[in-house]
Amino acid sequence: MAREEIPKQAKRMFKGQIFDVFQWEQKMYDGSYKTFELLKRPNTVQVLAVVKDKILLLEQEQPEKGVYLSLPDGRVEGNEDELTAAQRELLEETGFESKSWIEWQRFQPMVKVVFDVVIYIAVDCLKVAEQNLDEGEKIKWKLVSLDELLALTDDREVFKQQELAMLFMDMRLHTDKKEAFRKLLWPDA
Amino acid sequence: MAREEIPKQAKRMFKGQIFDVFQWEQKMYDGSYKTFELLKRPNTVQVLAVVKDKILLLEQEQPEKGVYLSLPDGRVEGNEDELTAAQRELLEETGFESKSWIEWQRFQPMVKVVFDVVIYIAVDCLKVAEQNLDEGEKIKWKLVSLDELLALTDDREVFKQQELAMLFMDMRLHTDKKEAFRKLLWPDA
């Protein structure tokens, strides 16, 4: 399926904190025109961070959102590239870093909202600093096994990263995909 | 997890064709304030329409989006309620109707966008009319078995209704859930 893109003739109608709104006149199959609308927001990054034989999982609490589990994640800020954003978020949220990063997946998850979710794998992570959280963040980290991670998809009220949940369920359905994923996380095992 | 809601003190900053943008000042844990932003858009409905021992599947083509498979779906329009929207979309897109509807699932699928996806089951559907498509729609319908429907989750480039894909994968992982679903689709079988 074609990716959604903001067409060149679109006008920015509103510039928000996160979302910009674009509109344009779209020619329909019968020759008439209709006002179309798309949003644009910064891409987000998510990190599968490997620490020895485990994976880093966050327990986060946010105003109005309650407590939930997630992989380290965040928005790309300003002009930084996606890998830099992933490295920054992992370091801020957990104090870990890695010298070996793979861009594993890239999705356009929302209908009518142009943005990518980019999922990185960071192997052999080491603790190099303390957490450095924004004023709105309450985050604890813990280490889980691959099987514990994949089992999170049974509770989507608590684990809401939907793209990851889809990938994890797919691995639970297809053992060959799970084993290929395991080799990405632990290339030397 | 708590549902995202537009807080009472939020102001509507932009009214779009589909999306409205709301902003407000949010007090943070350290007592400072930060501008928060949420979008609101109309709810959408999706229909699992049962025809004898099969389920209705659409092959759709849209400008800029290519060809894809989906269940009948659409946006709630104006002041109509969700069930009315589901019945209207099924009739317009396929010409089928049902006297027996169940609200099966309700989700808030997007982060920072306040809207629900509501999934209905319509049992014992009958063909009562021709398709009645909007000028922008090219839609063919066909009938598939339950196993063919669940197998669609293996090709997410073609089957993009993510909430449904999550539910179908969950059923493939948990046979008891699949059998409970089968009883909803064919209560008299």
State the pLDDT at residue A1.
44
Parallel, antiparallel or unpaired: strands B126-127 and A73-75: unpaired
Residue A15: pLDDT over 60: yes
* pLDDT of the residue at A74: 94
Q: Given this model, what pLDDT does residue A66 score?
A: 78
Burial class (CB in 10 A: 0-12, 13-18, 19+), A48: buried
Any A CB within 8 A of B133 CB = no
**pLDDT tens for each residue of B91-133:** 999 999 999 999 999 998 888 899 999 999 999 999 999 999 8
Q: Where are the alpha helices (DSSP H) in chain A?
A: 82-94, 146-151, 162-173, 175-185
Which token pair is B183?
């009883």
B154/B111 Cα distance (integer angstroms): 25
- pLDDT at position A128, please? 97
Two tokens at B1? 């997890």
Per-residue pLDDT at A63: 65
- Tell me how far apart the alpha carbons of residues A104 and A118 are, in angstroms, rounded to a whole number: 8
Give every CB contact of residue A90 below 8 A, 6+ residues apart in sequence.
A47, A49, A56, A72, A96, A97, A98, A122, A125
Q: Which residues pair with A69 in a beta bridge?
A: A59, A159
Q: Are strands A66-70 and B138-144 parallel, antiparallel or unpaired?
A: unpaired
A9 touches chain B (CB under 8 A): no
For B31-62, the pLDDT digits (tens) are 889 899 999 999 999 999 999 999 999 999 87
Higher pLDDT, B140 or B160: B140
Q: Count other Cβ atoms within 10 Å, centred on residue B118.
A: 21
Distance (Å, whole) CA A94 – CA A131? 5
8 A C-beta contact, residue A73 and residue A45 = yes
Q: Which residues of A touch B11 (CB under 8 A)?
A: none
How far apart are alpha carbons A148 and B107 in whole angstroms? 25
Rounded average pLDDT over B165-179 = 96
In angstroms, the separation between the Cα of residue A116 and the nearest Cα of chain B is 13
Interface probe for A, chosen from B8, B11, B19, B134 (most Cβ of A below 10 Å), is B19
> If you measure CA to CA, which chain B residue comes closest to A35?
B17
pLDDT of residue A118: 97
Residue of B nearest to A159 (CA): B1
Q: Would you tell me which residues 143-162 of chain B have a C-beta closer than 8 angstroms to some C-beta of chain A?
A: 153-154, 156-158, 160, 162
Mean pLDDT for the stretch of residues A151-159: 89
Contacting residues of A for B110, CB less than 8 Å apart: 110, 113
pLDDT at A189 over 90: no
The model's pTM:
0.87
Cα A76 to chain centroid distance, Å, stands at 10
Give the per-residue pLDDT at A30.
80
Please give the helix or strand (H or E) that residue A15 lies within, else none.
strand A11-15
pLDDT for res A2:
59
Judge whether B4 is closer than 8 Å to chain A, CB to CB: yes
d(CA B64, CA B148): 27
Report the C-alpha gap between A188 and B83 in whole angstroms. 54
**A64 and B29: CB-CB below 8 Å?**
no
**Cβ neighbourhood burial of B98 (10 Å; 0-12, 13-18, 19+):** buried
Mutate to test the interface with A, among B113, B137, B159 (most CBs of A within 10 A): B113
| CB A83 within 8 Å of CB A122 | no
pLDDT reported for residue A182: 98
Closest CA to B161 of B82, B85, B69, B86: B69
Within a 10 A sphere around the Cβ of B50, how many other Cβ atoms?
23
pLDDT(B1) > 70: no
Q: How far is A99 from chain B (nearest CA, A)?
A: 31
Lowest mean pLDDT among A14-18, A133-137, A161-165: A133-137
pLDDT of B5 above 50: yes
Q: Count Cβ atoms below 10 Å from residue B164 Cβ, excluding itself.
A: 22
Q: Which residue has the higher pLDDT, B87 or A112?
A: B87
Q: Residues B144-159, buried b or exposed e (16+ Cβ, 10 A)?
A: eebeebbebbeebeeb
Tell whether A37 lies on the interface with B, counting CB pairs under 8 A. yes
Percentage of chain B beyond pLDDT 70 is: 97
Name beta bridge partners: B113.
B39
pLDDT band of residue A151 (cuts 50, 70, 90) is very high
pLDDT digits (tens, 9 = 90+) for A100-139: 999 999 998 888 899 999 999 999 999 999 999 887 778 9
CA distance B87 to chain A (A): 22
Q: Is A175 on the interface with B (CB under 8 A)?
A: no
Average pLDDT, chain A: 93
pLDDT of the residue at B140? 95
pLDDT tens digits for B58-76?
A: 999 876 667 899 999 999 9
Query: Which residue in the block uniquely carries the two structure tokens 């084993």?
Result: A179
pLDDT digits (tens, 9 = 90+) for A55-83: 999 999 876 667 899 999 999 999 999 99
CB contact under 8 A, B165 and A166: yes
Contact B16 A17 (CB under 8 A): no
For residue B64, the model assigns a pLDDT of 65
Q: Are A23 and B16 in contact (CB under 8 A)?
A: yes
Angle at the Cα of A146 (from A95 to B153), degrees rounded to 5?
A: 115
Diameter of chain B by CA atoms?
61
Asked if the model's pLDDT at residue A169 lies above 70, the reply is yes
